[in-house]
Amino acid sequence: MAYNVDKSDAQWREELSPDQYAVLRQAGTERPWTGELLDEERAGVYTCAACNAELFKSGTKFDSGCGWPSFYESVDPDAVQLIEDNSLGVARTEVRCANCGSHLGHVFPDGFGTPTGDRYCMNSISLNFSEKSGE
């Protein structure tokens, strides 16, 4: 897939911290319960830490108890790219930023009690947060 933001590996390495690069560009995972945005409760918008594209609104965030920020839907279905991931021998669905292709986390169909039944389990380090009232 062609992305709106297309940078070389060297450019990504220069712009992102080593930890961000490991998650966003190499599909790594931060340790659970360590992310800065896990307990964020203010109203606002979550954007891609690599390209600043809007991804999630705070009103869709919920406490799933998994150790990573969880949302039940993205701001727009076209904001994220869903890709089949069998890397651990288990069928999962990877979530990438549709604007730059950066790895964000995975989505699971176990968001029980949410309007969609989905749990977008996102790496905190792959997101930025901007406070906005009414989100």
Q: What is the pLDDT at residue 89? A: 83
CB 78 within 8 A of CB 3: no
Q: What is the pLDDT at residue 114? A: 94
- Give the confidence band of 134 by pLDDT, cuts at 50, 70, 90: low
Q: Which of 35, 32, 31 is nearest to 46 (CA)?
A: 35
Q: What is the pLDDT at residue 135? A: 67
Other CB atoms closer than 10 Å to residue 130's CB: what's the count?
13
Residues 45-78: pLDDT tens digits? 999 999 999 999 999 999 999 999 999 999 999 9
φ and ψ at residue 82, rounded to 5 degrees: -105, 130
- Give the confidence band of 25 by pLDDT, cuts at 50, 70, 90: very high
Please state the pTM of the whole predicted model: 0.94
Catalytic positions are: 121
The conformation of residue 111, written as its DSSP 8-state character, comes to: -
